[in-house]
Amino acid sequence: MKKSISLISLLLAGSLYGADSVDTGKYYVGLGFFNGSGTETNDWTGGLNSDTKVDYDAKAFPISFGMVTSNNNRVEFSYTNADIDSDAGTSYDIVGVDLNYDFTLESLQVDTLLPYIGVGVGFYEYKDSGTIYNTQGNEDLQGIAWNLNVGLLYEITKDIEFEAAYQYKKITWEKLESVNGSSSLEVDEKIHGLYVGFNYKF
**pLDDT of 22 higher than 50:** no
Number of Cβ within a 10 Å radius of residue 1: 11
- The structural domain count of the chain equals 1
**pLDDT of 179 higher than 50:** yes
* CA separation, residue 97 to residues 67, 70, 133, 164 (Å): 16, 25, 23, 19
- For 77-124, the pLDDT digits (tens) are 999 999 999 998 889 999 999 999 999 999 999 999 999 999 999 999
Give residue 136's pLDDT. Answer: 63
Rounded to an integer, the average pLDDT of 9-29 is 60
Share of residues in the chain with pLDDT > 70 (%): 81
Q: What is the mean pLDDT of the chain?
A: 86
CB-CB contact of 54 with 39 (8 Å): yes
Residue span of the structural domain in which 97 resides:
2-201
Dihedral sign from CA coordinates of 155, 156, 158, 162: negative
Say which residue, 61 or 178, is predicted with more confidence: 61
Q: Which of 23-37, 107-121, 187-201 has the lowest mean pLDDT?
A: 23-37
For residues 44 and 187, what is the distance between their CA atoms, to the nearest angstrom?
A: 9
Q: Nearest Cα to 76, choosing from 32, 119, 137?
A: 119
Give residue 42's pLDDT. Answer: 87
Rounded to an integer, the average pLDDT of 177-189 is 76
pTM of the predicted protein model: 0.84
Q: Nearest Cα to 100, choosing from 142, 65, 152, 70?
A: 65
Confidence of residue 14 (pLDDT cuts 50, 70, 90): low
Give Cα 72 distance to the centre of its chain: 22
The CATH number that applies at residue 185 is 2.40.160.20
